[in-house]
Amino acid sequence: MEEKPVRKRIDRWPFFIQTVIMNKVKTSPNNILLHVNRSTFWAGFVLCVYSFFMYTLFVIQSSEKVNLYSIPPIVTSILYFIFGTYIFRKNSISPANIALSSLWLCIAIWLSGYAMIYLSTDYQHGLYWAKFLYFGVLFIPTTFYYFTVEFLGLERQRRRSLTVYSVSAVFLLVMLTSNRFLNGLYTYYWGQYVRAGSLQNVFLVFFGITYAGGLANLYQGYKKKFNESQIEAKRIQFVFWAFVIAVIGATDFIPNYGFEYYPFGYLLIGALFGVISYTIIQYRLLDISTVIHKTIMWLVTSSLIIIPISVLFYFGRNQIDRLSNLQLSIFVAGLFILTIPYFKLIQPRIDHWFQRRQYDMQKDPSRNGQRACDVEGSR
């Protein structure tokens, strides 16, 4: 009879960090995860926009020096950024939507970071972008695992998801404050590349365990739904195999250890994009032409904020180019702060305008079969 309380305490002790946080903010693990994941999305959004600006700025200034190896990853990164932003916009209060969009933006940061490393002509800039890309890489297994938890409705694993987020945050802190995670750069025929530090081996173990946990969740979810709903089972099956294919992209870590092996992970990540897109279209009764039309119109309207910023970067490129990495980071941060009024006042009105049709469909049940993609509705 005494074994049960002891077991209960043992089961609880890894979550002491979450317990302290919850006691402080007086909220549930679900709310904490929602806020953490939403913050992950917005941080990823800002970092992606920043890297796209810097890539564009480099092309404008030195088009003759553009490394062709940088083009495939930046194009793939932009695709993931657009799709991730669309998924978030579709339902910004759905944990599953937020988790998948955060994962997509983490992948976009990873790819755009490598594109910038390939463009870098000196060691310091290359190292700067090496650290930048790991802001995405460190949270890829975390956001993937949390996506499977919300996608399948695994409430008991939400606390574990918070632990996984905490571990990724610790790796990020180590990466920023020491060279034990990133120990410089290699130079290969396609450009500069990350040199792994000793603690990156520990991260790879964490990556493997966390990613395997997400795949296990999908496999168990498939088995559970197989006899209940063939459509649900098919949906989970496609998602499972998409991420099995994508994990082969982890071979991009091989050059981190001195092997001159060209990283083609963006091709496998592109396959992931294709399979997930097909699954959403095929199993959500999605009108693809309507979605493309609405998405393009929304992106064009929302990108109006980019026009004055682009003008600033274009005409001020000579002054911006003289800034140090620290000064440039402060400048971009200040620029982002100036856009907060836009995101609070103007962007919600644009979102509401483009969602008007969705509201009309909710009022008219006969048109519900035409509804657009909502990841949360998969459960």
- What pLDDT tens digit does each residue of the chain (379 aa) get? 444 444 444 444 444 444 544 454 445 667 788 888 888 999 999 999 999 988 988 888 776 677 888 888 898 898 889 888 888 887 788 888 889 899 999 999 999 999 999 998 889 889 999 999 999 999 999 999 999 999 888 888 888 899 999 999 999 999 998 888 999 999 998 899 999 998 999 999 999 999 999 999 999 998 888 877 777 888 888 889 888 888 888 889 999 999 988 888 877 777 776 777 666 655 553 333 445 445 545 555 555 555 566 566 656 666 766 777 677 777 777 777 776 666 666 656 655 655 554 444 444 444 443 333 444 444 4
Please indicate, yes or no, whether the overall pTM of this predicted structure exceeds 0.75: no
pLDDT number for residue 216: 95
pLDDT number for residue 153: 86
C-alpha 61/C-alpha 40 separation (Å) is 31
In contact, 119 and 58? CB cutoff 8 Å: yes
Q: Which residue has the tokens 């909710």?
A: 362
pLDDT number for residue 358: 46
C-alpha 188/C-alpha 197 separation (Å) is 18
Q: Which fold has domain 3-378?
A: Rhopdopsin 7-helix transmembrane proteins (1.20.1070)
pLDDT number for residue 143: 94
Q: Is 280 helix (H, G, I), strand (E, B) or coil?
A: helix
C-alpha 143/C-alpha 145 separation (Å) is 5
Q: Which residue has the tokens 């790991």?
A: 134
Q: What type of residue is 219?
A: Y
DSSP output for 187-220: EETTEEEEEE-TTHHHHHHHHHHHHHHHHHHHHH
Domain ranges of the chain: 3-378
For residue 161, CA distances in Å to 8, 14, 149, 166, 349 come to 19, 12, 8, 9, 33
Q: Which two tokens mark 104?
A: 């997509």
The answer for residues whose C-beta is within 8 angstroms of residue 60's C-beta and 6 or more apart is 314, 317
Angle at the Cα of 89 from the Cα atoms of 87 and 91, rounded to 5 degrees: 80
Q: In this structure, what is the dihedral angle of CA atoms 151, 153, 158, 164, given to the nearest 10 degrees? A: -30
H-assigned helices in 227-355: 230-247, 265-283, 288-302, 306-315, 317-321, 325-338, 340-341, 347-354
pLDDT number for residue 256: 93
